[in-house]
């Protein structure tokens, strides 16, 4: 099962960490407007990955549709 988390602020990071530690899925995909933050969270969590049940991180992606649209 894949899990996608939109937004890697405090709550998104906590959710990703919880899913990783429980081994609830096989792949985690992190989506955020700030690509460097998403990559940083992925790097942080990948260090713990070896100590957890099998899970892989999918590609980190940013989506421009998450940014507000000016009218």
Q: Domain total for the chain?
A: 1
Whether 57 maps to a domain, the answer reads yes
Task: Identify the band that residue 55 occupies on the pLDDT scale cut at 50, 70 and 90.
Answer: low
What CATH number did the domain enclosing 19 receive? 3.40.50.720
25 located within any domain: yes
Please give the angle made by the CA atoms of 50, 32 and 62, to the nearest 5 degrees: 100
Q: Does an H or E element contain 3, and which? A: strand 2-6
Q: Is residue 69 part of a domain?
A: no
pLDDT in tens, 1-49: 888 888 889 999 999 888 888 888 878 888 888 888 888 888 888 887 7
What residues make up the domain containing 13?
2-63
Domain contains 12: yes
- pLDDT band of residue 58 (cuts 50, 70, 90) is low
Q: Is residue 68 part of a domain?
A: no
């Amino acid at each position: 099962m894949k899990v996608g988390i939109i937004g890697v602020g405090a709550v998104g990071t906590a959710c990703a960490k919880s899913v990783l530690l429980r081994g609830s899925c096989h792949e985690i995909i992190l989506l955020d407007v700030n690509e460097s933050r998403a990559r940083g969270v992925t790097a942080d969590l990948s260090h713990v990955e070896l100590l957890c049940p099998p899970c892989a991180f999918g590609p980190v992606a940013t989506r421009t549709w998450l940014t507000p649209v000016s009218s």
